Amino acid sequence: MVGVLEGFATIAVVVAVGWLLAHLRILDESAQVALSRLAFHVASPALLLTVMQRTPLQAVVSANLATALLSFAVVVALYLLVARLRWAGGTLGSRLIGGLSAAYVNAGNLGIPIALYVLGDVAWVAPTLLAQLLIITPVAMALFDSDARGERPTLGRGLRRMLSNPITVGAIAGLLIAVLDLHLPTVVSAPIALLGAMAVPSMLIAFGISLRRGPRPAAGRSADHVWTVVALKVLVMPAVALGVGLALGLRGQALFAVVVTAALPTAQNIFTYAVRYRREVTLARDAIFISTFASVPVILAIAGLFHWLAGV
């Protein structure tokens, strides 16, 4: 369990650095936007390329992948239903941010250490990484781009947007390298890895700046919206993953892995997308902040329950 706390503590420290830099007026809102753009256009694509080319494909094409996709779809559908009933109106981009905040998990900088220390193998988080990077993210980016341009989403436009979006390009390039078993020369791979290493710190520092310079989390009229998203993320999604996993025949460690992964908090890159497309920035920020803290006891409880059942 120490690994779980260490993973969360690492993120908290870097976010606190961003908060302190904003408090001391070393960085401001313009730096937040610049860091988010850097992460979106350069660092994240490089990181995704690096991660995907190292992802063991034989370990991800399984019922775990189907469970990750179905759990995501169910939770997003629930969010859209609740949003339609409680918060009428809103753009496509706004609804996308809300849905992603409720169902897109932090499978990278939190999922990997938790998979290692809690599940015993990083490969357990690979199905969710694959689902998010190669299926969910490209579709979301195409929809965001259509919304930003005021276009009606179509298949042709969606495919063009996918192939021109830096996030999608990085993930697809990494997958092709893995499938073709290519080995990039050091003069190419080393700069890509160095650029990719900036992604998580850039996102976390930008997030910390937002916490200091923006409104207090879950304050005012948006509080019920934020808490609804957080409840869907840390409570409903693990329950959905448990039901879907059981229905698909998962048992034991495989089932434990999908439930723990589903309980991970909202990913920091949703904040980057919100800033990039100027949609629901505060909602994304607050959902990430609160779900990160709320997921700790949930993950610990899930781990304790599964270990107790294994010993019964």
Count of domains for the chain: 1
Residue 312, pLDDT score: 47
- Per-residue tokens: 133: 């990077």
As a whole number, the mean pLDDT across the chain is: 84
C-alpha 219, offset from chain centre: 23
Residue type, 120: G
- Angle between helix 186-196 and 44-54 (nearest 10): 120
Residue 59, pLDDT score: 57
pTM over cut 0.85: no
What gap in Å lies between CA 259 and CA 250, rounded to an integer? Answer: 11
DSSP class per residue in the chain: -HHHHHHHHHHHHHHHHHHHHHHTTSS-HHHHHHHHHHIIIIIHHHHHHHHHHHS-GGGTSSHHHHHHHHHHHHHHHHHHHHHHHHS----HHHHHHHHHHHH-B-TTTTHHHHIIIIIS-GGGGHHHHHHIIIIIHHHHHHHHHHHHTTPPP-HHHHHHHHHH-HHHHHHHHHHHHHHTT----HHHHHHHHHHHTTHHHHHHHHHHHHHHHSPPTT-GGGHHHHHHHHHIIIIIHHHHHHHHHHHTT--HHHHHHHHHHHTSPBPTHHHHHHHHHTSSHHHHHHHHHHHHHHHHHHHHHHHHHHHHHHH-
Chain segment 5-34, per-residue pLDDT in tens: 776 677 788 889 999 999 999 998 899 889
- 174 Cβ contact list (under 8 Å, min separation 6): 48, 49, 50, 51, 52, 53, 55
CATH at 271? 1.20.1530.20
Chain segment 249-297, per-residue pLDDT in tens: 999 888 999 999 999 999 988 998 998 898 989 899 999 989 988 888 8
Residue 118, pLDDT score: 73
Residue span of the structural domain in which 233 resides: 2-311
Residue 213: how many other CB atoms lie within 10 Å: 17
What gap in Å lies between CA 92 and CA 61, rounded to an integer? Answer: 31
What gap in Å lies between CA 281 and CA 97, rounded to an integer? Answer: 8
Per-residue pLDDT of the chain (312 residues; tens, 9 = 90+): 565 677 667 778 888 999 999 999 999 889 988 988 888 889 888 887 887 787 666 655 678 889 999 999 999 999 999 998 888 767 888 999 999 999 999 886 677 667 766 776 666 877 887 788 778 988 888 888 888 877 666 666 666 766 777 877 887 888 888 888 888 999 999 999 999 888 888 888 887 887 787 666 766 667 889 999 999 999 999 999 999 999 999 998 889 999 999 999 999 889 989 988 989 898 999 999 899 888 888 988 998 888 788 754
Sign for the pseudo-dihedral over CA of 176, 178, 183, 187 = positive
Give the count of alpha carbons within 13 A of 1, CB side only: 10
